[in-house]
């Protein structure tokens, strides 16, 4: 099953399926999201901490964000894998993602973004990932 990762602002990178937000808060007015996948959105606390650190300690802000977001996704991954074992199903059978869906956040392809970290976990869960 192929999942696309893209910016809301780069529609040409979307897959043929549904558009699902992995961004906390607002979305562009001109883009209609079909759903929100909260498990792969940085927590509001982490986003706020990152914003504050960007002002006070920009050199470490990204490192702290990456570490804590990875820990968040580790927990999600472990929970999905445990549920898969308990149910005798593949992880993809438990998640609401369909072939061709796009998980979108704000940052454009050429800028730093957390979609790369999301891609790692989607691949671990058995998805083919197209990340832009």
**In the chain, how many domains are there?**
1
Q: Inform me whether the pLDDT recorded for 80 exceeds 90.
A: yes
What gap in Å lies between CA 110 and CA 79, rounded to an integer? 32
d(C-alpha 127, C-alpha 1), whole Å: 5
pLDDT, position 111: 66
How confident is the model at residue 24, as a pLDDT? 83
Cβ atoms 14, 115 nearer than 8 A:
no
> In angstroms, what CA-CA distances link 57 with 23, 51, 54, 60, 125?
23, 10, 6, 6, 34
* pTM of the entire predicted model: 0.90
Domain enclosing residue 25, as ranges: 2-131
């Amino acid at each position: 099953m192929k999942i696309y990762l893209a910016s809301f602002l780069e529609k040409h990178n979307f897959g043929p399926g549904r558009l699902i937000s992995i961004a906390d808060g607002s979305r562009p007015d001109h883009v209609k999201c079909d759903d929100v996948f909260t498990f792969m959105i940085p927590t509001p606390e982490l986003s706020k901490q990152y914003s504050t650190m960007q002002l006070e300690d920009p050199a470490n802000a990204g490192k702290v964000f990456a570490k804590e977001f990875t820990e968040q996704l580790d927990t999600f991954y472990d929970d999905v894998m445990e549920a898969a074992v308990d149910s005798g199903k593949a992880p993809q059978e438990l998640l609401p993602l369909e072939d061709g869906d796009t998980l979108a956040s704000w940052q454009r392809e050429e800028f730093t973004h957390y979609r790369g970290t999301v891609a790692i976990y989607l691949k671990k869960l058995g998805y083919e990932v197209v990340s832009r």
